[in-house]
Structure 1
Amino acid sequence: MITIRPAKYKERKIIVDFQKKMASETEDLQLDEKQLKKGVEAVFEDFNKGIYYVAEDNNKVVACLLTTPEWSEWRNGTVVWIQSVYVRKDYRGKGIFKTMYNFIKQMVEREDDLKGIRLYVEKTNLSAQKVYQAIGMNGDHYQFFEWMKSF
């Protein structure tokens, strides 16, 4: 049975590994492990940065995601961003992300100061886009733009 829960600090190495795999699979990026490790640890050290959640099957972590807060003055509350989603290959297609998403959605529905959920997806990641549409999310409202310094 799959259970969803906040990640524990001792699981940071698993999360680092998942994030390296996700970057490689989705964007063909090879992340600097030392920098990534510091970034993951920073989340555990400061919950204002976000919260990692994991999916567990028989005490084995099989997926993770990171939620980060965005203040919305229009809604006078926080929008939860889902990012850094990774599901082990041998667990894909089994509804793991849907289970994780529903866990986050129920949290948002329970807490008055939480107003919604957003995520972004690589334009070429069509399989992920299909999953997000299937669980009731839409990509119709906003176009995402960014500028990032080089690694």
Structure 2
Amino acid sequence: MTDFILRQAVAQDLEALTAFNQAMALETENKTLEAQTLRQGVNGILQHPHYGFYLVAEREGEIVGSLAVTYEWSDWRNSLFWWIQSVYVVPAARRQGIYSALYHKVQDMAKEQGNVCGFRLYVEKENLVAQATYQKLGMQECQYFMYQSKA
């Protein structure tokens, strides 16, 4: 039995989600994100559902975990990939099934929507704990490398 609830994030969650993203970037990549830009980016998803959505896990009125989903259209598959991003669980709530519950909720939402062909995420090469979690949930390393450049 879980002692937390899962729900889609709302505008009132902006500060908590911003803080989670800031903490996740520092913890996983040792990066300090510019607070105003980050806040605007989080708010972009909250205010524009065509960009994606956040899910949160809440315990006793406090958010203890979250993830974002953004969308990628696959012309090869005529359906969407949902990218899981900005995963964070507060340290005191880790190893309690919160991320697994969030992931299963995403799977259920995708099945309900009907046009989602899969889930993708990226993880730091050195983050073996996260990789093990994703593998335990049935995710597999794919054959692609990721490249990026500035616009």
The answer for the alignment partner of 1:48 in structure 2 is: 50
Q: CA deviation at 1:7?
A: 0.4
For 1:43, what is the secondary structure of its paired residue?
helix
Paired residue type of 1:100: L
TM-score by length of 1: 0.93
Residues in 2 aligned to 1:112 and 1:125: alpha-carbon distance in whole angstroms = 32
TM-score by length of 2: 0.93
Unaligned runs of 5+ in 1: none
The answer for the alignment partner of 1:107 in structure 2 is: 109
Q: How does 1:1-151 map to 2 (within 5 A)?
A: 1-139=3-141, 141-149=142-150
Does the 8 Å CA contact 1:120/1:144 hold for their aligned counterparts?
Answer: no
For 1:48, what is the secondary structure of its paired residue?
coil
The alignment covers a number of residue pairs equal to: 149
1:40-79 CA-partner distances (Å, limit 9, x unpaired): 1111121111101101112211011100011111221111
1:69-128 CA-partner distances (Å, limit 9, x unpaired): 111112211111100000000011111100000000111222221221111111111100
CA-atom RMSD in angstroms: 1.4
Does the 8 Å CA contact 1:2/1:58 hold for their aligned counterparts?
Answer: yes
Q: CA deviation at 1:2?
A: 1.7
Residues in 2 aligned to 1:120 and 1:81: alpha-carbon distance in whole angstroms = 8
For 2:101, what is the secondary structure of its paired residue?
helix
Q: What percentage of aligned pairs have identical amino acids?
A: 37
